[in-house]
Amino acid sequence: MRKAFTIALCFLLLSQCFAQSNKSYSGFVVVCDIDDTYKITNTVQKSSSVINALFSKKTFAGMDDLLAAMCSAEAKLYFLSNSPRVLKGRILKIIEKNNLQYEGLYLRKAGEQGIGHKMTKINELIEKHPSDMFIFIGDDSENDALVYDSIRKRYPDKVAAIYIHHIIGKNSFSSYRFYTAVDIAYFECNAGRMESVVVNEILDEVMSSELQYVMPKYILFNEELMLQDVAGCFELHCLAKNRTIEWLIDCWYKH
């Protein structure tokens, strides 16, 4: 009887732990850019960006896994992009093909300025979710770092994290920089929101992918900067982040 009670208690505790870990993003809103953050577009070159916007369905390795893990743990995911609304159908096909559970997709109206569009929508989302914290994911090919940092300064108690994908080296906020989905997973794990098993799954996904799906040739390769970003990194799961950087550098030179 006592043994059965102990087993039942252990099962209950394990169930509670699983439920808690599955709700680690409850109360969090994730706002993610699309082009060159989630989807491989090459906004740096206008001719390539138009072709990729119309026909490419390629997403950066690990990003689907990362966003899916956040959503499965009850994050509210919104996509916010400066892509024109005429591309909405194509973008929706990519998101839905990857089975991401999202709350909304916001694209730019014709003639609307990119910074104004993103600032307006983020302010609306903050008003819509007054009790939630925000995680922003973007890239440095345009002005995501400036927009997100402005929001952080305006609402310092609402922003849990900002992640800016290194594309052209324009981002001056080094603390926001990421190269792959592994970097975000690493920081989220250290923040206590993401489980280590998820970090390892994303690491496996990234390192089993072709380089073109991790760091396409149009991205500015800066070995010194990459090594600088992992120098002295001895925190929990830092090995995953360091392994990815070493793998990227090795693959880059082999190509």
CATH number of the domain encompassing residue 101: 3.40.50.1000
The answer to whether residue 14 is domain-embedded is: no
Q: How many CB atoms lie within 10 A of CB 101?
A: 14
Instruction: State both tokens at 130.
Output: 């007054």
Q: DSSP of the chain, one letter per residue? A: -HHHHHHHHHHHHHHHHHHHHTTTTTTEEEEE--BTTTB---TTSHHHHHHHHHH---B-TTHHHHHHHHHHTT-EEEEEEEEEGGGHHHHHHHHHHTT---SEEEEEPTT--HHHHHHHHHHHHHHH-TT-EEEEEEETTTTHHHHHHHHHHHSTTTEEEEEEE-SSS----GGGEESSHHHHHHHHHHTTSS-HHHHHHHHHHHHTS-GGGTS-TTSPP-HHHHHHHHTT--STTHHHHHHHHHHHHHHHHH-
The answer to whether residue 2 is domain-embedded is: no
The answer to whether residue 32 is domain-embedded is: yes
Q: How many domains does the chain have?
A: 1
Residue 119 structural domain: 24-254
pLDDT for 139-161, tens place per residue? 999 899 999 999 999 999 999 99
The answer to whether residue 242 is domain-embedded is: yes
The answer to whether residue 243 is domain-embedded is: yes
The answer to whether residue 7 is domain-embedded is: no
Q: Report d(CA 246, CA 36) in Å as an integer.
A: 22
pLDDT for 83-128, tens place per residue? 989 889 989 999 988 889 999 999 998 888 889 999 999 999 999 9
pTM: 0.87
The answer to whether residue 19 is domain-embedded is: no
pLDDT for 170-224, tens place per residue? 887 777 899 999 999 999 999 999 999 999 999 999 999 999 999 999 999 999 9
Q: Is the dihedral of CA 185, 80, 142, 123 positive or negative?
A: negative
